[in-house]
Amino acid sequence: MDNEKLTSLRNQILNLTKEYFEEKIDQEPAFVPHISNIPVTGKVLGSEDIVNLVDSSLDAWLTAGRFSDMFEERVRKYLGVRHCLFVNSGSSANLLAISALKILYEVKDGSEVITSAVNFPTTMNPIIQNNLKPILVDIEPQNYNINPQLIEEQINEKTVGIVLAHALGNPFHVNEVVKIAKKYNLFLMEDSCDAFGSTFENNFVGTFGDVATLSFYPAHHITTGEGGAVLTNNTKLKKIIESLRDWGRDCYCKPGKDNTCKKRFDWQLGGLPHGYDHKYIYSHIGYNLKATDMQAAIGLAQLDKLDLFIKKRKENFNYLYERFSEFKDFDLPKWYEHSEPSWFGFPLTISSNSTIKRLDLLKHYDSNKIGTRLLFGGNVALQPAYEQVDLGDPSNYPKSNEVANKSFWLGVYPGLTQEMLDFMVDSTKEFLNSQ
């Protein structure tokens, strides 16, 4: 079969894929209040995403390849960072980031890392998995991020770094945190998994720290199915992250490539004999956390829509903010003057003067098919997973306790329609009027 015939067949497959998916979308049922589900978040896919997916699968390469390279480059350029490494999940990205920081800065086991008491396990766990001790700091109410005024009192000679997520896409006070990190010579890791496109003083979050992470899980701003990325401007750190991602290899050849270093059989490292194949020399105890080319192909199509997705998230957030302002039972979210969040969700806290119960409200939403989520792990010092980890007395974090008991969030993702948002508001009004 000649190349012309192959190209023709490929184009037929892709054109049919586009036609199929667009027909499938056209046949999706319309929203019906009380019957249709309103997801709290989710993926927004078009025919171009699926065409890219099929296109990459026809290469039959399967592992990281040309689409992965293009995806990394697009993300890197979008955010303005020097290095982007595509991995199989945001959780893996966090693990790689903290593991690499520990190696680069020769951090000893038992060293302390500052983090927020309102946290997600995938931000917390890599600290513990690297034999470091998380030191919790309480949050600012209605902002849901660490209170920067409380950080310095937790710093001592054992403190080596700060690891923080931008809660629900709402940037923590980056300037204050960076200032503290520099003052005490601490590393800073930004978990930006919920915050792709958020800015602080017109600079993207994920560009302030030593390293940052993104997630491309279907719930996030763009999706690759599973997937994530590690971002850094530090070339030494990038090389360590790359090695840890790829089994811990000393070799940095791309999949399917050999002898990039031009001395494949001319190395002598460790106790190995001279000339030992560089592809099988391991400089770190690593993992296999690469993503596939098919995931990257979807990501490339999603990146074309990222700005539109961000715009829609902001519009949905602003609409809910305006509508919920009429209710006196909720404390509305706050954000810093110099920040512009790319919102992951619409967080609410039941006001101290309200008599309503969160559980009753959430059950009401659920009965109306309206998705809700709690603020991830709430006060993580209360979580059973960390009973054997010394996180201090949970009562030391009163604002985080408030989140654990009174906070939740509603969706703002681009797949939500005006009709869905209005139904969310109307259902809330119905519940409040019944109390």
Rounded to whole angstroms, the Cα distance separating 200 from 169 reads 11
The single residue of 166, 220, 221, 278 carrying the catalytic annotation is: 220
pLDDT-derived band at 254, boundaries 50, 70, 90: confident
In contact, 187 and 161? CB cutoff 8 Å: yes
Reported as a single tens digit per residue, the pLDDT across 322-351 is: 999 999 999 999 999 999 999 999 999 999
What is the maximum alpha-carbon separation in the chain?
79
At how many degrees (to 10) do helices 235-245 and 90-104 cross? 120
Average of per-residue pLDDT across 208-226 = 97
> Does pLDDT of 253 surpass 90?
no
Rounded to whole angstroms, the Cα distance separating 113 from 304 reads 37
Residue intervals of the chain classified under CATH 3.40.640.10 are 58-302
The token duo for 396 is 């030391």
Average of per-residue pLDDT across 41-70 = 93
Domain 306-434 grouped into CATH 3.90.1150.10: yes
Q: Which residues of 49-70 are buried (b: 16+ CB within 10 A; e: fewer)?
A: bbbbbbbbeeeebeebbebbeb
Is 220 catalytic? The answer is: yes
- Nearest 5°: the CA angle 318, 320, 322 is 70
Rounded to whole angstroms, the Cα distance separating 420 from 362 reads 17
Supply the mean pLDDT for the chain: 96
Rounded to whole angstroms, the Cα distance separating 80 from 268 reads 37
State the CB neighbour count (10 A cutoff) for residue 385.
12
Beta strand 112-116 with 159-165: parallel, antiparallel or unpaired? parallel
**What global pTM score does this model have?**
0.95
Rounded to whole angstroms, the Cα distance separating 285 from 247 reads 7
Could you give the percent of the chain with pLDDT greater than 70? 100
Residue intervals of the chain classified under CATH 3.90.1150.10 are 306-434
In contact, 281 and 58? CB cutoff 8 Å: no
Name the DSSP letter for residue 360.
H
Average of per-residue pLDDT across 267-293 = 93
When computed from its CA atoms, the radius of gyration of the chain, rounded to whole angstroms, is 23
Sheet bearing 203-204, strands edge to edge:
203-204, 199-200, 339-340
Q: Dihedral (C-alpha) 316, 412, 375, 32: value to the nearest 10 degrees?
A: 120
Reported as a single tens digit per residue, the pLDDT across 101-120 is: 999 999 999 999 999 999 99
Reported as a single tens digit per residue, the pLDDT across 385-418 is: 999 999 999 999 999 999 999 999 999 999 999 9
Q: CA torsion sign, 79 to 84 to 87 to 90?
A: negative
> Does pLDDT of 27 surpass 90?
no
Average of per-residue pLDDT across 315-328 = 98
Structural fold of domain 58-302: Aspartate Aminotransferase; domain 2 (3.40.640)
- Nearest 5°: the CA angle 376, 377, 381 is 160
What residues form DSSP beta bridges with 146? Answer: 139
In contact, 241 and 85? CB cutoff 8 Å: yes
Q: Which of 143-152, 158-167, 276-285, 333-342 bottoms out in mean pLDDT, i.e. has the lowest?
A: 276-285
Average of per-residue pLDDT across 18-32 = 90
Rounded to whole angstroms, the Cα distance separating 433 from 53 reads 48
Rounded to whole angstroms, the Cα distance separating 368 from 35 reads 7
Q: How far apart are the first and last CA of the chain?
A: 73
Is 135 exposed, middle or buried, given 0-12, 13-18 or 19+ CB atoms closer than 10 A? buried
In contact, 101 and 237? CB cutoff 8 Å: yes
Residue with tokens 């967080």: 347
Which three-class secondary structure string do you get for 38-98? ECCCCCCCCHHHHHHHHHHHHHCCCCCCHHHHHHHHHHHHHHCCCEEEEECCHHHHHHHHH
In contact, 118 and 400? CB cutoff 8 Å: yes
Reported as a single tens digit per residue, the pLDDT across 159-197 is: 999 999 999 999 999 999 999 999 999 999 999 999 999
The token duo for 394 is 């949970």
> Does pLDDT of 229 surpass 90?
yes
User: How high is the pLDDT of residue 256?
Assistant: 78
Tell me how many helices (H) and strands (E) the chain has.
Answer: 12, 13
More confident residue, 59 or 203: 203
User: How high is the pLDDT of residue 1?
Assistant: 59
